[in-house]
């Protein structure tokens, strides 16, 4: 299984996290700048507004005072002191001022409220500053015995004679009155406002304990913007608005704003620490961060989900493309893909092995496909356990597996395969079946750099040879295998012309009657007369079966046999039935019986004279079809013989079902005849069993008199073998036929 790769996700996440962090930082900076600008313009606006308010109130007060003064002047000369006191009390009825008073040059003073008064010094100042006929406005520090806070004193001259003021009319306002109007209150946001005179002295402040002089602070703080303290001081002295933005005090950043007032060259000043702005910005950034976080998490979840989906579909694709659906192991595509990597140039240190479960079809037929599949799955499991991590395998097709294994030398490699075969037999054989797995290995020791498919071909060639062996079914690829392939290629190139040139000849091998020794028939065996050299069928028939050419060759032999029979008949020679071997391929060829009939008709030979020999394995693998074909042959009068009985897996059931005219015992039965007494018993049993079915029993491969005597005693009907005659040419056979007996 391939692991899900989250690398791109992690890379993307890291980049996104960096981008978002940078974004937040940038955003925070922007928010701070904007807030600073906002606070600056706010402080500028409010300061200007306060200044306007102050000017307006001062103006109003002056006008009220001036109008009141006119009333006093109009009633000049004043008769009695009580008149002045009453007038003052009357004017003060609306309580606009805290106190109204008259200070006369002759030293007399009058107050609207008898309980209040001003110090002598204050009164002196009033008279002095109004002597020139001007409006006087001042702030007096708190006079402890009289006032709890500073007071603002405004005064206008009383000049009834026009030119020589006799005194002044003054009004007192407590500083709280102005503070209230100007909104001077200790602010939560540490904003400070105060009014200063030209020397920077604080006249009115929002603070309880205000800084006495603004320049004394500015002198030991750092002005962050353009003007120096000196320049600020100069600008104020000249009544200009100094362009001040920031100053730093005790490491804290503060805004600073000066706005000139209309009275006495005073200034309205406001400051606010930047820290406050920063706190607000941090608050905004915090909220933004939370919002970002939420968006980020949602985005990531979505991204993760998409990645998962992508990985899942990739995994599915991988499974479809590279996994064998039955066993869950790698499939051939996967093996091709990783072969070069796995091999890693290790020539002479690796081997490619193909193995095949022999007669796997039997397991399927006897136990069903599901059980067969179970076996294959177990095989894959065993291989998975047994192979080293750097080795690999795949299921090539049905019961074929390909393995890439480490290789040192032949003995140790064969030992390993033997152990593997033993384990496969032990672990993969079905519990309730007696059938043991039988495995053939074809091995290609990787010695040169050739394409994978050629290595595979070579292992296949070795496997073909291994399958022909009875025991120790392990074969290494040899160069002779290649020669064989080359030869086969040549045969394939020549076969069509050989057929046209009649290079294929019919040889006949007599079938002899055990009882009389007479020839009762013969088997037609093909020979290839290739450049004067007789090639035996074993060398070309398997190849023709693979490439399908056998269909034409068999019909050619049949035609030759029909010609021989028709000539015997025409020439009144002795006639015996001749058997023709038919390949398994005919079974699935609908033209088979019609072609046979056409040839027989063409040569005018009765069908009873041509016997069809079909090998046992073909019949067993295709029972139903074999039954149909045998029925068809019988319908048109062809006798049918089962060839090579006992070489495969015939069951008695099959014999019972299929109506053969004769059964030919495989020559392998006689292989161990001399040495093994049990072999004789087996032959004896087989013959007597076959006889009970009522078929003619033919024994092939009889090579000695001893064998012939034994087989006759067992009750076999006909004999075929070198003891009687080798396959011979037709003319030689005719001579043998004339001899009447062979034994």
* Binding residues vs ligand C2E (CB under 6 A): 509, 525-526, 536-538, 541, 550, 554, 557, 581-583, 613, 643-644, 667, 700-703, 720-722, 727
Three-state DSSP state, 630? helix
Contact, 245 vs 221, CB < 8 A?
Answer: no
**Nearest CA among 607, 616, 546, 627 for reference residue 581:** 616
**Residue 457 φ then ψ, to 5°:** -60, -45
Tokens linked to 321: 């493309």
CA angle 462/464/465 to nearest 5° reads 65
Half-sphere exposure (Cβ direction) of 718: Cα atoms closer than 13 Å: 22
The entry of ligand C2E, Mg ion, none that residue 701 binds, CB within 5 to 8 Å by partner kind: ligand C2E
Which residue lies nearer to Mg ion by CB, 554 or 643?
643
The entry of ligand C2E, Mg ion, none that residue 703 binds, CB within 5 to 8 Å by partner kind: ligand C2E
The secondary structure of the chain in percent helix, strand, coil, rounded to multiples of 5, reads 50, 20, 30
Rg (CA), the chain: 63
Which residue lies nearer to ligand C2E by CB, 70 or 585?
585
Contacts of 564 (CB under 8 A, 6+ apart): 506, 578, 730
Determine how many CB atoms are found less than 10 A away from the CB of residue 62. 18
Chain residues in the site for Mg ion (CB under 5 A): 581, 613, 643-644
For the CB of residue 500, give the shortest distance to ligand C2E in the complex, in Å: 17
For the CB of residue 741, give the shortest distance to ligand C2E in the complex, in Å: 18
Which residue lies nearer to ligand C2E by CB, 477 or 645?
645
Which residue lies nearer to ligand C2E by CB, 78 or 669?
669
**Nearest CA among 585, 520, 595, 527 for reference residue 562:** 595
Tokens linked to 310: 């992508």
For the CB of residue 738, give the shortest distance to ligand C2E in the complex, in Å: 21
For the CB of residue 587, give the shortest distance to Mg ion in the complex, in Å: 16
Which residue lies nearer to ligand C2E by CB, 173 or 725?
725
- Written in H, E and C, the secondary structure of 463-520 is HHHHHHCCCCCEEECCHHHHHHHHHHHHHHHHHHHHHHCCCEEEEEEEEEECCCCEEE
Peptide bond into 77 cis (omega under 30): yes
Which residue lies nearer to ligand C2E by CB, 457 or 644?
644
The entry of Mg ion, ligand C2E, none that residue 737 binds, CB within 5 to 8 Å by partner kind: none
For the CB of residue 701, give the shortest distance to ligand C2E in the complex, in Å: 4
Which residue lies nearer to ligand C2E by CB, 137 or 540?
540
Which residue lies nearer to ligand C2E by CB, 355 or 724?
724
Pairing of the two strands 350-357 and 439-445: antiparallel
The entry of Mg ion, ligand C2E, none that residue 537 binds, CB within 5 to 8 Å by partner kind: ligand C2E
């Amino acid at each position: 299984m391939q692991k899900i790769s989250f690398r791109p996700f992690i890379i993307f996440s890291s980049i996104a996290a960096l981008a978002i962090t940078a974004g937040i930082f940038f955003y925070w900076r922007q928010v701070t700048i904007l807030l600073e600008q906002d606070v600056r313009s706010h402080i500028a606006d409010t300061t200007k507004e306060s200044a306007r308010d102050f000017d307006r109130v001062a103006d109003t007060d002056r006008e009220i005072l001036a109008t009141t003064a006119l009333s006093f002047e109009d009633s000049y000369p004043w008769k009695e002191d009580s008149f002045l006191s009453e007038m003052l009390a009357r004017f003060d009825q609306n309580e606009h001022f805290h106190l109204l008073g008259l200070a006369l040059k002759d030293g007399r003073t009058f107050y609207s409220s008898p309980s209040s008064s001003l110090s002598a010094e204050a009164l002196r100042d009033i008279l002095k500053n109004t002597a020139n006929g001007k409006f006087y406005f001042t702030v007096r520090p708190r006079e402890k015995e009289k006032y709890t806070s500073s007071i603002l004193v405004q005064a206008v001259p009383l000049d009834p004679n026009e030119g020589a003021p006799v005194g002044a009319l003054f009004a007192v306002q407590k500083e709280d009155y102005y503070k209230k109007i100007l909104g001077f209150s200790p602010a939560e946001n540490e904003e400070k406002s105060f009014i200063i005179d030209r020397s920077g002295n604080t006249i009115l402040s929002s603070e309880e304990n205000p800084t006495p002089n603004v320049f004394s602070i500015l002198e030991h703080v750092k002005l962050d913007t353009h003007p120096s303290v000196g320049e600020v001081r100069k600008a104020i002295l000249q009544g200009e608005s100094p362009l001040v933005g920031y100053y730093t005090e005790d490491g804290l950043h503060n805004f600073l704003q000066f706005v000139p007032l209309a009275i006495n060259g005073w200034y309205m000043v406001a400051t606010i620490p930047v820290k406050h702005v920063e706190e607000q910005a941090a608050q905004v950034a915090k909220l933004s961060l939370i919002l970002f976080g939420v968006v980020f998490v949602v985005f990531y979840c979505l991204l993760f989900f998409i990645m998962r989906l992508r990985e899942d579909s990739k995994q599915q694709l991988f499974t479809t493309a590279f996994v064998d659906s039955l066993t869950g192991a790698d499939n051939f595509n996967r093996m091709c893909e990783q072969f070069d990597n796995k091999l890693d140039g290790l020539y002479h240190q690796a081997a490619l092995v193909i193995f095949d479960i022999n007669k796997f079809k039997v397991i399927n037929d006897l136990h069903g496909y599901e059980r067969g599949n179970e076996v294959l799955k177990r095989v894959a499991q065993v291989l998975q356990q047994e192979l080293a991590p750097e080795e690999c395998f795949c299921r090539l097709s049905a019961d074929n597996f390909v393995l890439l294994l480490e290789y040192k030398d032949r003995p140790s490699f064969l030992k390993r395969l033997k152990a593997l075969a033993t384990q496969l037999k032990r672990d993969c054989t079905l519990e309730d079946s007696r059938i043991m797995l039988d495995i053939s290995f074809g091995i290609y020791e990787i010695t040169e750099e050739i394409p994978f498919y050629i290595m595979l071909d070579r292992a296949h060639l070795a496997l073909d040879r291994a399958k022909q062996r009875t025991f120790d079914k392990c074969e290494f690829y040899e160069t002779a295998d290649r020669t064989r392939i080359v030869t086969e290629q040549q045969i394939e190139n020549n076969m069509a012309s050989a057929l046209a040139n009649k290079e294929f000849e019919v040889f006949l091998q007599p079938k002899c009657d055990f009882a009389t020794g007479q020839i009762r028939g013969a088997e037609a065996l093909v020979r290839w007369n290739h450049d004067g050299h007789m090639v035996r069928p074993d060398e070309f028939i398997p190849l023709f079966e693979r490439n399908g050419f056998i269909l034409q060759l068999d019909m050619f032999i049949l035609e030759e046999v029909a010609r021989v029979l028709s000539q015997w008949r025409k020439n009144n020679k002795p006639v015996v039935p001749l058997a023709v071997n038919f390949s398994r391929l005919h079974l699935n060829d609908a033209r088979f019986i019609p072609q046979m009939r056409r040839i027989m008709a063409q040569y005018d030979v009765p069908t009873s004279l041509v016997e069809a020999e079909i090998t046992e394995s073909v019949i067993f693998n295709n029972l139903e079809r074999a039954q149909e074909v045998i029925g068809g042959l019988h319908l048109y009068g062809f006798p049918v013989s089962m060839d090579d009985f006992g070489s495969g897996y015939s069951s008695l059931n099959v014999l019972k079902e299929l109506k053969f005219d004769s059964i030919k015992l495989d020559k392998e039965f006689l292989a161990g005849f001399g040495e093994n007494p049990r072999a004789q018993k087996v032959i004896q049993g087989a013959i007597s069993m076959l006889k009970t079915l009522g078929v003619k029993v033919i024994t092939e491969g009889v090579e000695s008199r001893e064998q012939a005597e034994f087989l006759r005693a067992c009750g076999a009907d006909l004999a075929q073998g070198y003891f009687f005659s080798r396959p011979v040419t037709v003319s030689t056979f005719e001579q043998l036929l004339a001899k009447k007996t062979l034994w």
